[in-house]
Amino acid sequence: MAGTDDKSNTGKADFSDVQGGSSSTAPSTGAKTVTVKPGDSLSKIAQRELGDANKWHAIFEANKDTIKNPDLIHPGDVLTIPNA
Amino acid sequence: MTISRSLMRRPGRVATVGATLGMLLITGACGKKGGSNADSVAAAAPPPAAAADTSARAITVADVAVGKHIGADKKVTDESGDFAPKDSVYASVHTTGSGTATVAARWTFQDGQVVDERSQSISPTGDAYTEFHIAKPSGWPKGKYTLHVMLNGTEATTKDFTVK
């Protein structure tokens, strides 16, 4: 799976390996989103958010309106993360 | 029943006591007749203002805490503004109100780079705590960071912290 437009060679700090998460005491409506970072790929996001890189297709299916090519996502894209 | 001299010297209080006694007599009379109209009317028609408050209080961000650990209640247990490169950073967003809202956290570095950004939709019925966390196994670059908390797409508050 191809990565994003990686700009890690620009001399800036590299945050591509940052791991994150969220949860709430309030009932969730199920809609979680993440914003694509430089160096991200769908499989990388699936590993980070769903714990399994092979679930990239679930993210792709949930974002077909915005992702036309699963091998090409862009930093700043906001992706809906389906329930694991 | 007696009314003390001190009350006699204060017309306002006497009037209040008198009114209270009057109400008690009326309530007692109704009870003796077996009627409970006053009670049922009161139960059936709560003050309109109170009903409005509980049904449609908009969700707002009350406060945000940042620290190194979080409890099961999603509250930060050790609020701090200083972190070490290997620390995880937790933020707890306290919201009040009921309904549906999207709470988002955007973490940025001092140079403007977005470190992480994510959102969660919630449907609270009162006070709620939504936590966001970030970690970087290879270690955070030292410097200043800012957490931007957004509610329904609008920035509600920010919180600064430093990695030393």
Which residues of chain B lie closer than 8 angstroms to A29, CB-CB? 100, 121-123
The verdict on ipTM greater than 0.95 is no
User: Which of A18, A21, A25 has the CB atom closest to B129's CB atom?
Assistant: A25
Per-residue pLDDT tens for B137-154?
999 999 999 999 999 999
Per-residue pLDDT tens for A18-34?
999 999 999 988 789 99
Beta strands in B77-141 (DSSP E): 82-83, 89-96, 101-109, 114-122, 128-135
The pTM of the full predicted model, rounded to 2 decimals, is 0.71
* pLDDT at residue number A10: 63
* pLDDT at residue number B49: 47
Query: Could you report the average pLDDT of every consecutive run of 10 residues in chain B (164 residues)?
Result: 43 43 41 41 46 66 97 96 97 97 97 95 96 96 98 97 98
Domain ranges of chain B: 5-45, 58-163
- Per-residue confidence band for A11, with pLDDT thresholds at 50, 70 and 90: confident
Contacts of B11 (CB under 8 A, 6+ apart): none
Class of domain B58-163 (CATH, top level): mainly beta
Q: Which of 5-64 (A) contact B at CB < 8 A?
A: 12-13, 15, 17-35, 37
